[in-house]
């Protein structure tokens, strides 16, 4: 009976996902690399991800534009012929 507070299950299923991801990531030892190289590679990776997101957003906006254009034209024609 959840409403009476008798449910003792964890909402996360006894797992903390973010902590597990942090533990997995901490296995990579970046201390052996120069700090400037770590920052440079991280910056380039972030820039690449942002660039890909911009391209995806551009395509999504074009698809939305043509969907609205075609849908509005079809609706107007339907109303005209009705």
Q: For residue 53, tell me if it sits in a domain.
A: yes
Q: For residue 5, tell me if it sits in a domain.
A: no
Q: For residue 18, tell me if it sits in a domain.
A: no
Q: For residue 25, tell me if it sits in a domain.
A: no
Q: For residue 46, tell me if it sits in a domain.
A: yes
Q: For residue 37, tell me if it sits in a domain.
A: yes
Number of domain units in the chain: 1
- Scanning 1-82, the segments in alpha helix (DSSP H) are 17-25, 35-81
pLDDT of residue 66: 98
pLDDT of residue 29: 75
Range of the domain at 66: 33-81
What's the average pLDDT block by block, 10 residues per block, for the chain (82 residues)?
Answer: 58 64 68 90 96 97 98 97 92
Q: Does residue 40 sit in helix, strand or coil?
A: helix
pLDDT of residue 32: 86
Show the CA angle centred on residue 30, arms to residues 47 and 52, nearest 5°. 15
Q: For residue 20, tell me if it sits in a domain.
A: no
Sign of the alpha-carbon dihedral angle for 29, 33, 39, 44: negative
Tell me the C-alpha distance between 8 and 15, whole Å. 14
Q: For residue 28, tell me if it sits in a domain.
A: no
pLDDT of residue 74: 97
Query: Does pTM surpass 0.85?
Result: no
């Amino acid at each position: 009976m959840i409403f009476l507070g008798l449910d003792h299950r964890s909402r996360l299923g006894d797992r903390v996902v973010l902590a597990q991801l942090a533990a997995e990531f901490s296995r990579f030892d970046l201390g052996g690399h120069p700090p400037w190289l770590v920052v440079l590679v991280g910056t380039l990776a972030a820039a690449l991800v942002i660039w890909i997101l911009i391209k995806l957003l551009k395509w999504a906006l074009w698809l939305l534009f043509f969907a609205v254009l075609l849908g509005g034209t079809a609706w107007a024609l339907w109303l005209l012929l009705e």
